[in-house]
Amino acid sequence: MIRNEVNSESTRQRLNRRPLFNLWDAFKALDKDQNGFISSLEFKQMLIDHGFFPSHKEVSNLVERYDKNGDGKVSYSEFIQEITPKSPQRY
């Protein structure tokens, strides 16, 4: 579990250092139906588009990690909370 968190933080740090990375653009790219939320199906489709074939449980775990209020979908503010680096230390 700790290794997973370190890897997640490392990814957050790398994204944050990319000069052309924009959180709003990343969110919009995932929100295919443009309803202001990312659903489990949208997460799953993004993963499939990138060569990953997650199980239902893996997608559920991903949504659960991002979905802070437990409504089954990920808002922009929830997305930002998870994507923004948590540590000032660079990995």
43 touches 63 (CB < 8 A): yes
What is the number of other CB atoms lying within 10 angstroms of the CB of residue 65?
Answer: 12
Q: For the chain, which residues make up each domain, given as ranges?
A: 2-83
pTM above 0.95, yes or no: no
Check residue 53 and give its pLDDT. 95
17-65: per-residue pLDDT in tens? 878 888 899 999 999 999 999 999 999 999 999 899 999 999 999 999 9
CATH class label, 2-83: mainly alpha
Answer yes or no: are the C-beta atoms of 9 and 85 closer than 8 Å: yes
Structure token digits, residue 76: 């922009």
Residue 63 and residue 31: Cα distance in Å, rounded?
Answer: 13
- Which pLDDT score is estimated for 85? 81
Alpha helices in 1-91 (DSSP H): 2-17, 23-30, 40-49, 56-66, 76-83
